[in-house]
Every structure is written in C-alpha cells, then in structure tokens.
Amino acid sequence: MSAPRIGFVSLGCPKALVDSERILTQLRLEGYEISPTYDDAALVVVNTCGFIDSAKAESLEAIGEALADNGRVVVTGCLGANAADIRAVHPSVLAVSGPQQYEAVLEAVHAHAPHTPVHDPRLDLVPPQGVKLTPRHYAYLKISEGCNHHCSFCIIPSMRGRLASRPVGDVLEEAERLVAAGVQELLVISQDTSAYGSDIAYRTGFWGGRPVKASFAGLAEALARLGVWVRLHYVYPYPHVDAVLPLMSEQGLLPYLDIPFQHASPAVLKRMRRPAAAERTLERIAHWRALQPDLAIRSTFIVGFPGETEDDFETLLAFLAAAELDRVGCFEYSPVEGAAANALSDAVPEPLKHERWERLMALQADISRARLARKVGRHLDVLVDEIDAAADVAVARSSADAPEIDGVVHIVGGGALTPGMRLSVEITGSDDYDLEARLPAPAGESAS
Ligand code: SF4
C-alpha cells in the first residue's frame, strides 16, 4: 500500500515555519509523503498565523481553500489557539490545535490518514537535519518558545505561553546537523533572544563533551565557532548584550542585531509596556558601534499607537535621525483581538497614521541611502541566494542583510555563481535599500 500523501500550507512568521518543519520532518520519518497539491492528498494540514487581523483573515481563507479543494483539513498554529473561532467559520475541519502542538497534529493525521509503514527504505531518505522549507543554504534556529513580557499590543504570550528555553546542547546539536547538511547561515530566532536561558537558571549543558552555559552570550559564543554565518534576531537592548559585540565578525557571528524598538517616546513605550523601555538606547547604540564599527542594526516601529501625539512622533523621528539605523520596518498600528491595548483611549485617526508612516519611511530612506553609499568602494563578504542567468546577475546578501526582510547585493556578472556560495565582492553602487557589486578581478588583472 502506498503511503498517504499529506498536503501542507505554512503561513506566518519564521517561528511558525520552524513548527512546520518539525511536523514535516516527523511525517516524513513516519513514511508519509508530502504533497505539493491538495487534490491528491489524503488530507491537508494548515499551519495558521493569528498575530494580526489581516493574518487571521489570510489563515481562514487558506482553510476555506483547502476545504473546497480537498475537504479534509487539520488546522494548527497560532490561530488554532482559539478553536471556537475557527469552527465558527469552518465547522467541518477535522481537528484544531495551537502553536507547537506537534503531537496533536500528528495524532490527527494518524486518526484521519492512518499509515503503518513496514520496512520502507524511503525513510532513510529523510535527511538527518530534517526537512527544511527555507533554501538549503540558510535555516532558522529556534532557541526558545514563549515570552515573559506583556506588551499591550501583543497576544503572543497568551497564545505561546511563558519563556521556555531549549537546552543549550539540543540547540547546538541541531545547529551542527544543519551545518553538516550544507547550511551556510543560521538565523537565531525566538520571541526574546536576549532572555535565552533566564527561565532555566542559565543551566550549563554539554556540547561535544564541553560545558556550555545556557545564556545569550554562552550560546552566541558556541554558535560563532561553527564556521557559518550566525545572525541574531529579536534582541533587546539590555547591558548584557554588550558581551557578544567583540565576538562578531563577517566569518561567524555577524555584526548584525535585529532589535524591535517599536517606538522611542517614553510615554508611548510605557503604554506599549515594552521591555527595556527605560534603557538609554542611543548611548547603548553608540557604545556598540564603538566596539563594532560595522554593526548593522535592524528594527521595527509602530506608528499611530493609541495616544501617540505629534510630540511623541517627533521624538521617534529625532531618535531615528540620531540612531541612523541600517534597516527599518514600520507598521501602522492596528488592534489585535484580545490585546490589552484595545482598551486604550485616544485612537489615532487612520489618515494620520498613514501620514506618519510616510514621513517615517521617507526619513529612513534618506538615512538608509546615505549609509549604503558609504559602502561603495569597499569589499564585502556576501552569501549568494539566487541566480538570474539570463541577466548574468547573482542576488546575494552581505552581513547587514537578513533574508526576506532586508536589502540585497546585486552582483553584476555573477550569473555563473551558485546559491549558497560565500565570496568577497567589490561594491560599485547603491540606492535606497540595495547595493550593486562586481566580482573580484582575477589575479593579475585590475578591475576598471
Ligand atoms: S516581547 Fe512583547 S511583542 Fe514580543 S512576543 Fe513578548 S509580549 Fe509580544
């Protein structure tokens, strides 16, 4: 009997992607086939996102499509934390489970698409590093689940629970397996990477027979030794982050920090109940850049949060002008069902939110353009993501560019390179967000 085929849809953030990978790996280990289409699948698993209302709508739509095309649907992920909401719209789904409930998903698959593999040599085809949904040269490494903060606009702690750090030995073994499988870049993710280990009293673990402390710095130091790029996401500007700056280089732990500041006005940060709101952020950034002049800082901001005055917004613009962050994402505030911020008064009118968003993005484009222009003429290490052979161009990233969210480096004449290659290129041009580069001249020739 051939193995049942399971259709799979993965929506949402990198953390949800990691959940999907775990489920897919287990299904493949059990001998299930993964189907790229719905119609020949025994059932479809939809891993949903429930972070903001538009993501919820997209998830409900994906469930509806899978029901229309296939009829047998198992729902999991953040939106699944509230099963009643899903069943109200789609009463015929087979099962609903919340984020990280891998066992519940597998139970539902076992119940509705039973499969008892005898000896199946195809199981050996499952690579030991698991099934990855990202391109094979980079992978997300999830170091903890949940969050101990209570930001008023966020419902992740109620959906994902309190911080639960993975044992450091497990994290490092997974990282090692990924590197052995050809991964060139590890993207460290969690809800609060700088809090890693605080819930388990920084318990020392073992990796390769050596003790490693389960702390932000201990983990960063161990990962830096793997010989691949390591990029830290979702870090807060706490003093203990200083310890990892000297470890950064273009060969290992990258000079890059993704810090979701969200705002700069103390009054707004207080209403947002943000962690590290009281830190002297500009001083900290200046200190980090003194330690690591090539440090790239990415951040996200919310404009139009309830009660945000023109003065608050001007404070945010002044912060951006002074901080000169390298990469900035900005969202217009929108309420999320169940979030404490919904009870706040003084909502900002939609047109004003949008006007502020435009002003912020225009300022940041100027800052980004000026920072990128300073790189012209330098040689930078890059990692190749894609090739456009027809145009003879490779699309790559430098240490300052995370995949999907930051800019890229277009390597003119790079059509013969391959994804996953790391090389040094000469930067020849720049615009608001991207760089242009050329290949190094062959030995004995000088580039003109
Ligand atoms: S730090 Fe705040 S925004 Fe981030 S997951 Fe925790 S509560 Fe949500």
Q: Whose CA is nearest to atom 8 of ligand 1?
A: 154
Q: Is 105 helix (H, G, I), strand (E, B) or coil?
A: helix
pLDDT at 126: 63
pLDDT at 40: 87
Residue 192 Cβ contacting ligand 1 at under 6 Å: yes
Longest dimension (CA), the chain: 70
Q: Which atom of ligand 1 is nearest to the CA of 148?
A: 6
Dihedral sign, Cα of residue 388, residue 229, residue 13, residue 300: negative
Residue pair 411/396 in contact by the 8 Å Cβ criterion:
yes
One DSSP character per residue, 371-390 reads HHHTTTT-EEEEEEEEEETT
Q: Which of 369, 358, 348, 383 is nearest to 432 (CA)?
A: 369
- Could you tell me the distance, in angstroms and rounded to a whole number, from the CA of residue 151 to the centre of ligand 1? 5
| Mutational pocket test of ligand 1: of 15, 52, 147, the residue with most ligand atoms within 8 Å of the beta carbon | 147
pLDDT at 119: 44
Predicted confidence (pLDDT) per residue in 47-62, tens digit: 998 877 788 889 999 9
Q: Which atom of ligand 1 is nearest to the CA of 154?
A: 8
- Could you tell me the distance, in angstroms and rounded to a whole number, from the CA of residue 146 to the centre of ligand 1? 9
- Could you tell me the distance, in angstroms and rounded to a whole number, from the CA of residue 260 to the centre of ligand 1? 9
CA distance 375 to 114: 57
Q: Which helix (H) or strand (E) holds 171?
A: helix 168-180
Residues of the chain with pLDDT under 70: 1, 117-128, 277-278, 443-448
pLDDT at 447: 38
- Could you tell me the distance, in angstroms and rounded to a whole number, from the CA of residue 52 to the centre of ligand 1? 13
| Predicted TM-score (pTM) of this structure | 0.84
CA distance 121 to 187: 32
CA distance 179 to 227: 9
Q: Which helix (H) or strand (E) holds 358?
A: helix 350-373
pLDDT at 127: 67
Amino acid, single-letter form, for residue 102: Y
pLDDT at 133: 78
Amino acid, single-letter form, for residue 104: A
Residue 154 Cβ contacting ligand 1 at under 6 Å: yes
pLDDT at 1: 55
